[in-house]
Amino acid sequence: MNLMAQGKTRASSEEWRHVLPTNLGLFYGGEWHSPAAGRTLPVLNPANGDVLAHVALADREHVDRAVAAANSAFPAWAALSPLKRSEYVRGIAKRVREAGDELAMLDALDSGNPLKGMLLDIQMGSTIMEYFAGLSTEIKGSTIPMPGGVLNYVLREPLGVVARLVAFNHPLLFAIAKIAAPLIAGNTVVLKPSEHTPLSALRLAELVQDLLPPGVLNILNGDRAAGEALATHPGVASIAVVGSIATGRAVMRAGAETLKRVTLELGGKNALIGYPDADPAKVAAGCVKGMNFDWTAGQSCGSTSRVLVHESIYSEVIEAVSDLVGKIRLGQPTAIETEMGCLSSQAQFEKVTGYIEGAKRDGVQLVAGGGRGRGDLERGYFVEPTVFADVAPDHRIAREEIFGPVLSILKWSDEAALFEAVNSVPYGLTASVWTNDLSTAHRAAARIQAGYIWINGSSSHFLGAPFGGYKQSGLGREESIEELHEFTQLKNVNVTLSP
C-alpha cells in the first residue's frame, strides 16, 4: 500500500479496518491467549470517538504465565551466539519496515499522531533495532592485571526476564526500539504497551510470531494493574519504564520487594534559553521545532515547553513564534498532508485544556491558539498549538509537565537568576541553548541540570548519544551502548592456574 500515492484524507475507522490486527488477545509463549471473562478494553479513535477494536487486558494470572514462558525461553536465548541474536532482531526490523505503511496508519488511527510522523517513527524504530543488532559483539567484559599464575576476567551477562512498560506517545516506535537492547543482551522480554495505544504492538506480535523462538518476546496489553503485577513479580529481573514520574516512583516502590533492576525514562519540563546575541528568527524556529507539535501534538518527553528569552530579543521572538504557530494546520491524523494531529485520549484532552483554561483564568497572556479544533475536528481531541507569554516563573504552566501543545514563554535579564529558574524544577531531561558565543554556550551547558542538551538545536535525537534524565526525569540512559549495559550484569572470575 502506498499511502502517499493514495492520498487518503478521511479518518473513518471502516475505511482503515484492513490495517487493524486480527488477533486482539494476549501473546506469550509463542501463542495467542484469550483474556479472563470481561477483561477487554474498547480502543477509541481519538480523532472521532469511533470504537476501533476491543483488546484483551492481562490479569495477574496471564502475567504469571507470560513471565513463566519468558523464563523458560531465557537459557536457550542467552546461550545463542550474539550474531545469531542480531539476526533475529534484524529480522524483526525487516518485517516492520516491510509493513511500515500499515503500522504507521495504525498508530495514526490509535494515537491521533499524524501519519507523516508515524512513518518517521517506523524508520527511527527500525534503525534503532539495527543499531543494537550491530552492537551485539560489543557487549565486552575486561581483564584485570594479576600476579603470574592468576587470570582474572569480567563477563557481562544478561539479567533474565526484562519487563518493558511503555508510554502512549510513540506506540510502535517504543514497542520496537525498547525491546532491542534487552533482547540483544540476551534477555527475554515481556512488553506492556500503553492501554491508550495497544493496537500496533498486537500487529507487531502477528508479524514476528513465527520468527522468534516461543517465549523470547511476549506482548501483553494491560492497564496499570498489569504493570504493577510485572513490577512486583519475582520472576522479572528488571523493569524498564517509559512513562510519567508518578509511574516511575510506583514501579521503584513495587520493584523494591524483589530488588529489581529499574530503568526509568520519565517526564520533562524542558527549558529553551535564548541569549541576546541569538537570531530571534532562529530561536523562534527552534521553539516550534522543539515542541514537536507536528509529531505528537507536543506530547513528547523532550519537548522544550518552557522558553526563557532575554529581554533584548523577547518581543521579536514572541512575534515570530506566534507567526509560525499560527500557520500550523490541525488535520485528520490519517491524512498524509496533516501538519498536527490530536491528543491521544479524553484524559489527555481534559488535562491539557485544564491547564489552558487555568492560565486564561489567571490572566496569563495568550499569544496563539488556546482553542480546540473546529468543524469536523470537533468530534476529536484536537487542541490548537498554544503559546502563552510573560508567564510568571512560579505559574503552573511554567513548572509542570503539561504533555501537550502548550508553550510557555518567560523573559529574563540576569544570567544567575536565569539558571536558578531553569534548575528550579524537579525535572532534568533536555534543554536547548541559543547563542553564537562558544563560551556562553559551554558555560550554559555546564550549569544546566539536564541529561541531553542541544546548542542551537532542539528536538532531534542522535543514535549512539546517551539519552536520559537528571533528577526526577529518570534513571539510566538509552539509545546508546549504555542502554545495552543497563540490561547486563557483571560477573568476575578469578582463575588460579596450575603451575
34 three-class SS: coil
Between residues 251 and 422, which has the closer beta carbon with respect to ligand NAD? Answer: 251
Calculate the alpha carbon distances from 233 to 65, 199, 259, 393, 449 in Å. 11, 25, 11, 42, 34
Sign of CA dihedral 404, 181, 469, 247: positive
- Shortest distance, position 177 Cβ to ligand NAD, whole Å: 10
What is the Cα–Cα distance from 155 to 491, expressed in whole angstroms? 5
Contact between 55 and ligand NAD by CB under 6 A: the answer reads no
Site string for ligand NAD, 461-480 (x = CB under 6 A): -------------x------
Between residues 80 and 252, which has the closer beta carbon with respect to ligand NAD? Answer: 252
Between residues 73 and 165, which has the closer beta carbon with respect to ligand NAD? Answer: 165
- Shortest distance, position 332 Cβ to ligand NAD, whole Å: 23
Other C-beta atoms closer than 10 Å to the C-beta of 409 total 24
Judged by CB under 6 A, the residue of 110, 121, 401, 486 near ligand NAD is 401
Contact between 427 and ligand NAD by CB under 6 A: the answer reads no
Between residues 172 and 266, which has the closer beta carbon with respect to ligand NAD? Answer: 266
What is the Cα–Cα distance from 218 to 74, expressed in whole angstroms? 12
Contact between 406 and ligand NAD by CB under 6 A: the answer reads no
Contact between 251 and ligand NAD by CB under 6 A: the answer reads yes
Between residues 296 and 332, which has the closer beta carbon with respect to ligand NAD? Answer: 296
**Cell numbers of 31, please?**
501463542
What is the Cα–Cα distance from 292 to 300, expressed in whole angstroms? 7
Between residues 251 and 364, which has the closer beta carbon with respect to ligand NAD? Answer: 251
Contact between 267 and ligand NAD by CB under 6 A: the answer reads yes
Judged by CB under 6 A, the residue of 58, 104, 207, 301 near ligand NAD is 301
What is the Cα–Cα distance from 471 to 255, expressed in whole angstroms? 19
- Shortest distance, position 463 Cβ to ligand NAD, whole Å: 14
**Cell numbers of 214, please?**
516461543
Between residues 248 and 280, which has the closer beta carbon with respect to ligand NAD? Answer: 248
What is the Cα–Cα distance from 100 to 256, expressed in whole angstroms? 39
Judged by CB under 6 A, the residue of 101, 110, 228, 486 near ligand NAD is 228
Q: Would you list the DSSP string of 390-424?
A: S--TTSHHHHS---SSEEEEEEE--HHHHHHHHTT
- How many residues appear in the chain? 499
For residue 426, which amino acid is it?
Answer: P
- Shortest distance, position 210 Cβ to ligand NAD, whole Å: 26
Contact between 428 and ligand NAD by CB under 6 A: the answer reads no
Contact between 456 and ligand NAD by CB under 6 A: the answer reads no
- CB closest to ligand NAD, residue no: 227
**Cell numbers of 423, please?**
534548575
Judged by CB under 6 A, the residue of 19, 165, 179, 262 near ligand NAD is 165
Question: 264: Cβ–Cβ under 8 A, 6 or more apart, which residues?
Answer: 240, 241, 248, 251, 252, 469, 474, 475, 476
Contact between 162 and ligand NAD by CB under 6 A: the answer reads no
Compute, in degrees rounded to 10, the torsion defined by CA atoms 248, 333, 342, 365.
120
Judged by CB under 6 A, the residue of 45, 188, 247, 304 near ligand NAD is 247
Active site residues: 265
- Shortest distance, position 494 Cβ to ligand NAD, whole Å: 39
Which residues of the chain form contacts with ligand NAD (CB under 6 A)? 165-169, 192, 194-195, 223-224, 227-228, 231, 241-244, 247, 250-251, 265-268, 301, 401, 403, 429, 474
